[in-house]
Structure 1
Amino acid sequence: MKKLSARRRHPLAALVVLIFALAATGGLYAAFSPAGEAQADTAEHSIAVEEGMKLYAVGCSSCHGTGGQGTEAGPSLVGVGAAAVDFQVATGRMPMQNPGPQAPNKPAVYNDAETAQLAAYIASLGPGPSVPEPGQYDPAEGNSARGGELFRTNCAQCHNFTGQGGPLTHGKYAPNLHDVEPKQIYQAMLTGPQNMPEYPDGIMPEQEKRDIIAWLAAVNSSEAPNHGGFSLGGYGPVSEGLFAWTFGIGVLIVASVWVGAHTAKARKS
């Protein structure tokens, strides 16, 4: 007992116990971890990257360079992440048919599997935002009232009050957000395509992005009521001011003419 007590008081006793605990933990993890699944996932990812590199060489390298470093015809793709690729390719904006101030939304050239392969290859070039999971952009998990406030503060200047879109400078425009998939809206906020600013989670948290998506889903729903009457396209004060000026002033002019005509008749009689 005295020998055991002396060993416990030895200065290296705590270090020996710590090393033993770490070794035991590592052994148990190695014994019970799903090594086969991890290896399978790694192999599948490597295949996706390889196939994506082939697709990239044929359809993208002429503008973005053989290694994604960019050229005069297209920006660098190093570090843009899989989310940016998924958005641009799935919406048909890339590859562009013709050079112009903005890539329009059009039918996609690549299917879902090919889009995922391209995204995997570009993600391998440098770290960037990954493709979001369904729970991250589910409108049911958002607060539409709060989303309306956020949208009017951050987005309405370009997309108008209900996401109807609008023109920008030099032939650019903010697209209409009606019938746009929640995943694409989330990815656009996350990556900032073309003229749009980026809203990473450090600037706009995940929940706020969901709130904005919930607002757009609610306000663009076919069942959404117009509490203010005739929506005038949902463009906000510009269309409302034009309506008031054209029809309001017109009514006042007609009323003035009518009053003047009847006043003149009354004086003659």
Structure 2
Amino acid sequence: MSNQSIKITIQNNVAYVTLNRPEVFNSFNREMALRLQDTLDQCEQNDEIRAIVLTGEGKAFCAGQDLKEVTHPELNPGFKKILEEHYNPIIQRIRNIEKPIVGAINGVAAGAGANIALACDIVVAHEKVSFIQAFSKIGLIPDSAGTFFLPRLIGFQKASALMMLGDRISAVEAERLGMLYKVLPLETFKEEVTALAEKLAKMPTKALGLTKKVLNQSLTNDLESQLALESKHQIEASESEDYREGVASFVEKRTPNFKGK
């Protein structure tokens, strides 16, 4: 399946979702934002898919908003629509799909592109990648949940500085700060992303989805609420087919064959 601005391929239970406007560094226009939402919905509903990789075509991951669209007198959807109908629903889908999403950052991630990357469950980048909170350079504030995730990932002071100054930081520095899981060599980037995604696709998908749900709530819960939530979802996980298979494989000293149920 593919369309003009989003490509999707499915292999070994992994959906590879690619932002596909390389001529403008995969910057978002309305069509691409809506297509990405539709594609993520397809990934959520397709039981064959047990892990998702989000990446970009060409030299960039995503340069954020296509400024030609917002400055066009006829095409400009306005910032209310851009936020409420484009970026906010994308972030909500990334966080609410109960399947692991790998952000495979293949090039510069700027503005909304940087913050969409931060919303993924596991973020990897190759050594030539850079991240930039570019909003202040054009008189805007960070959106796409950047003000929610970045301070929690790297601390209030660092996040404030990066957002106000708009500094470009390398993937190596981003890893050091805690923005991403791992920096991968450029030469083996695609192979290592595939290996990571296929490993996730063979794991107990239901448990991973519940882990994601509990982590989401941990961002706002107090301790007592979080303990109660852990209890609720641990009981749910213990009733799954994958739990029974995991225990059986441990007792029998064999590799588990999880089904994601």
TM over 0.5: no
**Larger proportion of helix:** 1
Of Structure 1 and Structure 2, which has the larger fraction of its residues in strand?
Answer: 2
Q: Which has the larger radius of gyration?
A: 1
| TM, length-normalised to structure 1 | 0.23
| TM-score computed with the length of structure 2 as normaliser | 0.23
